Amino acid sequence: MGFEKFGRKSFASHAKVESFVEYLEKGELRGTQCKSCGKQYFPPRADCNGCLGNDMDWFKIEGIGTLVSHTRAGFAPTGFEADVPYTLAMADFNGIKVFGRLTGDIPEEEVKVGMNLQLNILTFSDGQLSYEFIKP
């Protein structure tokens, strides 16, 4: 229900967050923000676990983030076998933690916690969408 076009293989669906892929198609990565208490979520959530509200708005994740943590993956789940090795990373964008892959263009020895990263939206030849972290 909306996540079918995200990732290299179909992603489990989450209710009421179908706009996520529509924003990706426009080149934007978005999370959700609770209209009642202001709590922000990524991956997007349809319900707030802060105040239990369900009136959510979308906000854009953009600008320069910093690398918080990373790990080199030498094996991959089904469907990703051709991609190894790659670097999985957690980056912080204004307090929002985003989990994803580092682009393969960054040499492993240059990958350092605290380095600046920005988002790059990917469209694969089969129409699937995803994102990665690149150097600004």
Closest C-alpha among 92, 95, 99 to residue 115: 92
CB of 4 to Zn ion, least distance (A): 28
Q: Identify which of residues 48 and 89 has a Cβ nearer to Zn ion in the complex.
A: 48
Q: Identify which of residues 34 and 91 has a Cβ nearer to Zn ion in the complex.
A: 34
Measure the CA angle with vertex 22, ends 106 and 36; round to 5°: 100
Q: Kindly list the residues in this chain that would bind Zn ion in the complex (CB under 5 A).
A: 34, 36-37, 39, 48, 50-51, 53
- CA dist., res. 101 & res. 42, Å (int): 15
Q: Identify which of residues 50 and 136 has a Cβ nearer to Zn ion in the complex.
A: 50
* Residue 22, H or E segment: helix 19-25
CB of 48 to Zn ion, least distance (A): 3
CB of 92 to Zn ion, least distance (A): 21
- CA dist., res. 114 & res. 36, Å (int): 32
Q: Identify which of residues 27 and 50 has a Cβ nearer to Zn ion in the complex.
A: 50
CB of 38 to Zn ion, least distance (A): 7
From residue 48, give the alpha-carbon distance in Å to each of 39, 58, 95, 136.
7, 13, 17, 32
